Structure 1
Amino acid sequence: MSIKPLIRTIDPRNVQAVFSSDAASYGNRPLRHFAFSPLVGDGVMTLDGGRHEHARALIRPTFSKAHIENEGAYDRHVQKLIGSLAGDGSTVDLQPFLERLDLDSSTEFIFGESVASLDDPPNALQASHKFPTAFNVAQQGMGARFAMLPFNFLHRDEQFWGACRSIRQFVAECVQDAVTRREKNGNKIAMDYILVDNVLQESQSLTEIQDTLMNVFLPGHDTIAITLSNIFFHLARHPEAWRKLRHQVLELPEITTENVKRLDHLQYVINETFRVNPPVSNMTRIAIRDTVLPTGGGPDKTAPVYVPKGTVVGCSFYNLHRRSDIYADDDGDTESWRPERWEKLKLPQLAWKFMPFGGGTHICPAQILAFNRVAFTVARLRISW
């Protein structure tokens, strides 16, 4: 098995070609399926073409405006988080608490059953449920299988397979619970903000439903936690931004998704954090037929680049977000976290230049949900402190 050639790019024209205008020439499945399928099966993360579109259609109704703005269920987890934090002015490491918030809210939203890790004592993370521990083991195994390309067939790890079986059993039980709820509810959706209940309306295959749920959970379960951790990391080092944010939040009549959307400084804080610390720093595709990238070749680097079948194309969103011709401030700086730069930057003008959730046919379906929950949580915590 030969090593696959690799091209890296941060040119917006090439990024657009790979993820949108020439997306049919590139695939996910040859890169991801071996590594991820033991846990997630077949779904939006591991399929291409028509099968990918079908898998995406199964989850699309749940991410409509009516569902993503059902904030009451999410706020219950945020209130648990606030209650778990020390109120005596002592220093707190927020990251583990934010991870538990994301885990609890995402398992409820996706599977209909929260693992309730925030109910555990602070020094007993993941003590009450085997799911988080098993998922960490599975993630490590998938990372190893992905990194071993083209020698991933050599991967042997009984703990990995045991973790996958444990998680799939948990998901199977959640699906069966949803079936029971649906039957008791006259074959109608029992809980309209729960993904499993909605997917059950779209498919009768229990395996397909389980795969669909895991394909949402795997990429999305820690995105909010990572983003929130990065936001508070930066705010702790920029007191003026913290004070400005506090002033705006305190002027709100109440914390709701609609109200926090009006806070321009909060939007700047979130966008700048996504710029400096994108949730996915690098994304790859593999050419499934001979094709070309629009630019990057020739003596002046402006000619098209031939991409033979089997070539891996990597797009670094981390470096794309640091291009000086797009993001430099008056001092030419792109490295510093400075929310004020978004007073001039306009999202409609940053297509294929700002990619916190990817783009094209594989763009994250939960991007609006993630942004809303991040904004809501920051505002809620800011009011509480």
Structure 2
Amino acid sequence: MTLKLILHFMYPTLLQISSLFLIYYIYTRISLYRRQRAFKRSTGSLSPPRLPQWDPILGLDRFREVGRDLKNHRLLESSSARFAKMGTNTLEVVVLGRHIIITTEPENLKAIQAVDFKKWSIGRRRMEGFRPLFGLGIFTTDGADWQHSRDMLRPNFVRNQVGELNKFERHVGRLIKRIPANGDTIDLSPLFFSLTMDSATEFLLGGSTDSLLRTDEHEFSIAFDRAQGVVARGSRWGPWAKLFPWLFDGNTFETDRDIVHAFVDRFVDDAFTKKQTLAQSSEKKDRYVFIDELVEQTTDRIRIRSECLNILLAGRDTTASLLTNVWFILSKRPDLWTSLQNEIAHLNGRAPNFEQLKDLKWLRALLNESLRLHPVVPQNSRQALEDLTLPLGGGPKGLDPMFVPKDTIVAWSVYSMHRRQDFYGPDADVFRPERWLDDPVTGQKGLRPGWEYLPFNGGARICLGQQYALTEASYVTVRLAQAFAGIETRMEQNVWTENFNITAVNLGGAKVGLTARP
């Protein structure tokens, strides 16, 4: 039988199947529309305002804009400009066929992260994008798996662990030795990333990468950084990143992933060996190590490795990015440098203890202001598990309750929200730490923000390592300021420019000239 005859007999069948499929598709769309319309009527909610697009179906225009903004390091800035142009704090866009709602309304974030927490997921793209490197851990799971991670990790970030500042001192000493004392130019940013990698691996794994002692970069650090970039792009672009890996620098991912996993697996094996040795003797642990506590709670080696990598991501990158942003600002503002030196003068060069560090209110205001204007995690999102409403964002002005269909991604721009003048005043774009402090002359209270300030998320998924990151950043800043009397900027760019991967850090780093104390 020829192909022509086969097609002749099959054509009516194919036509029938196609017709049935079309009818079914139209039926499901009409049913969905009716169900959503009924839900909106019963809840009094409205759809959010739409961003005007010449391609409202696939959103190829928005895809092109996002790619251009990422390349030009203007994604966050463009997002803020878009809210200002629309005159609303919530809008809906279409990107590669996905409808995404973006908001800067604190009440919406409170509903997503706290009030209706169980009705939201971190989203399939984040899970699928992050898991090849980070496995099943606290940042890559929902539901029971996430709760298990949370319960297992929470005891490891109690006050007595975070407050052991001596664990930072050795690494800070190495950092200071790497900095020229005669004012020669040095970029502090890569040193901060080495420092936090060293301290984080010692805290988590019981063995430091000791990258500050190296003149060459450590293989693990290189692989970890490169693999992070791939999973970030995978989470952002989904299947496109897998279909066209050469466009997203994904060709070395499997090699980098294997290097990262093998490095951590050695410490997992050591932790189980140590556990067995201690069980057979009367010896006690000589110091606290994060991974040693995990092996007491589970025998799943892959899960232990995954949890360590999840926390390493947060502990290392968050602190290093914060330090880079803070020291970029300090180098450009002599007034801030003077204020910092004045506050720590009473320590007379001695390393502060935890209580003394907590009492440095101006330093905390400096960190808070950096996290406000340059949040380390400037964007985040969740995916609706069912049809939902949010308090604000619906209607043409975004002032009515907002309808969110099931499976819709709702993203929020912390970067834009932290610049809202109705929350932070007409000088919201100005770096001014004093806004966080009480004024003893006028009696005016400093900022006491709620959900409008979210550098570490909120609700059930608030960052466990928040206090660890702030403590390490504070301690490092104090010890550097004690070691050096003068600072000069050596930056080519005068303004902070985003380098946005998983976290956001100043593109040009923190190039400075530091002079030691006489």
Same fold? TM cut 0.5: yes
- Name the aligned partner's letter for residue 144 of structure 1: R
Question: Match of 1:49?
Answer: 143
Structure having the larger proportion of residues in strand: 2
Q: Summarize the Cα distance change of 1:29–1:191 in structure 2 as closer, same or farther, 3 Å threshold.
A: farther
Q: Give 3-state SS (helix, strand or coil) of 2:457's partner.
A: coil
Equivalenced residues, count: 376
Q: Deviations over 1:156-178 (max 9, x none)?
A: 54510111111111111111111
Q: Give 3-state SS (helix, strand or coil) of 1:102's partner.
A: helix
Q: Deviations over 1:139-165 (max 9, x none)?
A: 122123122225344255451011111
- Name the aligned partner's letter for residue 451 of structure 2: W
Question: Match of 1:18?
Answer: 112
Q: Give 3-state SS (helix, strand or coil) of 2:186's partner.
A: coil
Q: Give 3-state SS (helix, strand or coil) of 1:171's partner.
A: helix
Question: Match of 1:363?
Answer: 462
Question: Match of 2:243?
Answer: 154
Question: Match of 1:109?
Answer: 203
Which blocks of at least 5 consecutive residues in structure 1 are unaligned? none
In the aligned structure 2, how far is the partner of 1:274 from the partner of 1:362? 18
Cα pair 2:380 2:413 within 8 Å, conserved: yes
Deviates more, 1:148-157 or 1:51-60: 148-157
2:451 to 352, 359, 362: 352
- 1:190 deviates by 3.0
Deviates more, 1:41-50 or 1:86-95: 86-95
Larger-gyration structure (1/2): 2
Q: Summarize the Cα distance change of 1:189–1:109 in structure 2 as closer, same or farther, 3 Å threshold.
A: farther
Cα pair 1:268 1:339 within 8 Å, conserved: yes
Report 1:323-342 matches (<5 A): 323-328=420-425, 332-342=426-436
**2:400 aligned with 1:311, yes or no?**
no
Question: Match of 1:145?
Answer: 234
**2:373 aligned with 1:280, yes or no?**
no
**2:483 aligned with 1:384, yes or no?**
yes
Q: Summarize the Cα distance change of 1:151–1:266 in structure 2 as closer, same or farther, 3 Å threshold.
A: same
In the aligned structure 1, how far is the partner of 2:406 from the partner of 2:239? 16
- Name the aligned partner's letter for residue 125 of structure 2: L
Cα pair 1:286 1:311 within 8 Å, conserved: yes
**2:337 aligned with 1:227, yes or no?**
no
Cα pair 1:4 1:310 within 8 Å, conserved: no
- 1:40 deviates by 0.9
Q: Summarize the Cα distance change of 1:13–1:251 in structure 2 as closer, same or farther, 3 Å threshold.
A: same
In the aligned structure 1, how far is the partner of 2:381 from the partner of 2:420? 19
Which blocks of at least 5 consecutive residues in structure 2 are unaligned? 1-57, 59-95, 439-444, 485-518
Question: RMSD in angstroms over aligned alpha carbons?
Answer: 1.9
Identical columns (%): 32
**2:260 aligned with 1:167, yes or no?**
yes
Cα pair 2:315 2:468 within 8 Å, conserved: no
Report 1:104-253 matches (<5 A): 104-121=198-215, 124=216, 126=217, 129-154=218-243, 156=245, 157-186=250-279, 190=285, 192-252=287-347
Q: Give 3-state SS (helix, strand or coil) of 2:209's partner.
A: coil
Q: Give 3-state SS (helix, strand or coil) of 1:293's partner.
A: strand
Cα pair 1:31 1:286 within 8 Å, conserved: no
Report 1:61-100 matches (<5 A): 61-100=155-194
- Name the aligned partner's letter for residue 105 of structure 2: D
Deviates more, 1:304-313 or 1:16-25: 16-25
Report 1:256-295 matches (<5 A): 256-295=353-392
- 1:370 deviates by 0.7
